[in-house]
Every structure is written in structure tokens, then in C-alpha cells.
Amino acid sequence: MKKFRKCISLIAAAAILALLPNANALQASAAPAKTIYIRFDTDLHEWRMQVGSWDEGDAGLELYYLNNGNDSQKALDGDTLVVLPNTPEAEPDEDGKRPKQETGNVDLKVNARLGNLTVNRTNVVISANGIDECHVQGDSSAAVSGNVTNAYVYDNAACTFNNNVTNLRLIATVENTVDTNVSVGGTVAYASTANGGGVLKEYYNFAAGSFYFDKNSGLMTDPSQYSTTGSGPAAAPQAPAQTTAPSQTPTQTTSPSSSGEYDDVPKTGESNLLIWLFAGMTILSAMCAGGCLLVRKCK
């Protein structure tokens, strides 16, 4: 009898799930992406981390927790990692420029695919399972291991990407000319230089290990290793795609995870209303029959 009841309960649960709109989209809700700040604490003379925001009065956590803390502490897929300048930050000089900080490199190994990495006026060596958005601000240097979907290198930053970069943008916000030093060990599907006036140059499909941009000489890559024709930035590969060769063909799929509206194109799929109605009828009939049987047995 107990088994029978259990069976009925299971059928009822299945029916409720099946009849719920978008039931097929039911899934365990993941924790929302968080922001982890990393900063060199001059008092403690070591790199520390804090989650959510940087509180000057809080000593934060050791970097050990970046991979070994609980879920609210450690870096998870989709999280944002911001590497901040020293605390307290050096005062700007007469020209308004802050002296470059001498804190040494912070060496980070993150066991997650980061949604965003921002390096702000620091020197970072980082290894991750991949990065969706990577911003290397001026006065910074970074060595990044892991495929990057969108990389932005600003002003006089120096950056080495050891793996593939889908879209690489070198941006001058202070000067008119781009004076970054950037090299890429993997492929680059799309690269552009830009200043406040807009995009200056665009390049496509760099062969693996061929991209090198010098702040004095500009793009140093042999022209045979890339193309100057294409159709704008490439689509993001599906994470954690490990593309190894430049693709001349357009990407057919994009990551479904990010939100955003789709282009307005008529929907030409067939309605499933009839299938749902029949499924509902079958399940309800089964439940009803089960209920009747139960009543009879109880009698």
C-alpha cells in the first residue's frame, strides 16, 4: 500500500512538473556571480582578497581562499575578479600621474572560468579556466593564461595572453596613438586599435602565436599571418571552447547563457499545445485511475 501511495505521489509530482510552463527549464539555481577584489595591503605587506566590495577597515582574506574558501568566498564560474592598486594608493605627482607601484607581481591561479577580470594599475600573472571579459587598464601589466573571449588593453598597459583571444581591442584613452605592448600565444580571431575618435584599424584571423603589437612600431605581425578583411568582431565561442586554429567560417552558435534580446525574426516553429494537452490528459487519467484504485483498496 505504501509503495502504491509512493507511486501515486511520484506520478503527481511528475504531472505537476510536466504541466508547469517552462518546466523543462527547471534547474537548480546557481549562486549569483560575485565580485572578488584583490589588493596589496601595504600594512600586512601581502596580497589580500575581499568579496562584494573593498572595505578599507577590513583586512580581508588570504588569497588561499580564492580557490579553497566556501562558495561565497572562492572564485566560481562567471565571477568577476578585480585586481586593485595598493592600499593606501600612492598620491599623484604634480602632473596628476600616480607613480607606478612597486608591489611585485601577484600570481593568481583560479580554478574557474571568470566572467570578468579587471587589472587596475597592478602587475598580475593569472591562470584561469577561461575569461569572458578581460580589461587591462593603463599602468598595468598582465600575463594571462586561459582562453579570453573579449580582451581590452588600455593606454600604456603591457599584456601577454598565453592562449587564444577571440576579440582583442587595444584602446588609447589618453593619447591618440595606441601605445600598448601586447603579444598573444594563441590565435586571435579579431583585433582592433581604437582611440577616442573610434576604431582605427581592424585585423582578423591571426595565426597561433603571431600577434605582437609594439607600442612604438605598431603591429609587428607578418601580414601573411593575418587578414585585413572580415566582418567585425567574432562571436564568442561556447565556453570552455579550446579553439586551436583560426576559423575563416563564421560562428554558428553563441553562448546561450548571457541575457539579451534576440533579433526580430518571425518565429516559424510549430506550436506544441496539442502535445501538452494530450500529455496532461494522460497523466491526469493515470492519477485518477490510481486514486480510484486506492479508494477501492481502502474500502
Partner 1 sequence: MNNLKKQLSILLAILAVICLAAAISLVIYRQAADRRTEELLDSMRLQAENETESAEAPAPSEDTGSEAESESSQEPPRELVDNPYQDSYLANEDMAAWLKIDGTVIDYPVMWTPREETYYLYRNFEGKDDQNGSLILDTDSSLDPVTTNLIIHGHNMRSGAMFGSLTEYEKESYCREHNIITLYTKECERRYEVLAVFRSQVYKKTDQVFKFYKFFQADTQEEFDDFYQNIKALSLYDTGVTAEFGDRFITLSTCVYHVEHGRFVVVAKEIEPGDFYAQTNN
Residues that bind partner 1 in the complex, under the rule CB under 8 A: 231-235, 248-254, 256, 258, 260-263, 265-271, 273-274, 277-278, 280-281, 284-285, 287-288, 291-292, 294-295, 298-299
CB of 161 to partner 1, least distance (A): 20
- Residue 292 C-beta: closest distance to partner 1, Å: 5
Give me the least distance between CB of 286 and partner 1, in Å please: 9
Cα 186 to its chain centre, rounded Å, is 18
- Please name which of 256, 220, 261 lies closest in space to residue 239, comparing C-alpha atoms: 256
If the CB atoms of residues 53 and 248 are measured against partner 1, the closer one turns out to be: 248
- Residue with Cβ nearer partner 1 (62 or 133): 133
Pick 15 or 207: Cβ nearer partner 1: 15
CB of 295 to partner 1, least distance (A): 5
The pairs formed by 13-22 with CB atoms below 8 angstroms and a separation of 24 or more are 14/283, 15/280, 15/283, 15/284, 15/287, 18/279, 18/280, 18/283, 19/276, 19/280, 19/283
The least distance separating partner 1 from the CB of residue 296, rounded to whole angstroms, comes to 10
Q: Tell me the torsion sign for CA atoms 146, 147, 153, 158.
A: positive
> Quick check: bond before 88 cis, omega within 30?
yes
**Cβ-based nearer residue to partner 1, 70 or 252:** 252
Best CA proximity match to 226, nearest among 206, 246, 249, 244: 206
Nearer CB in complex with partner 1: 73/149: 149
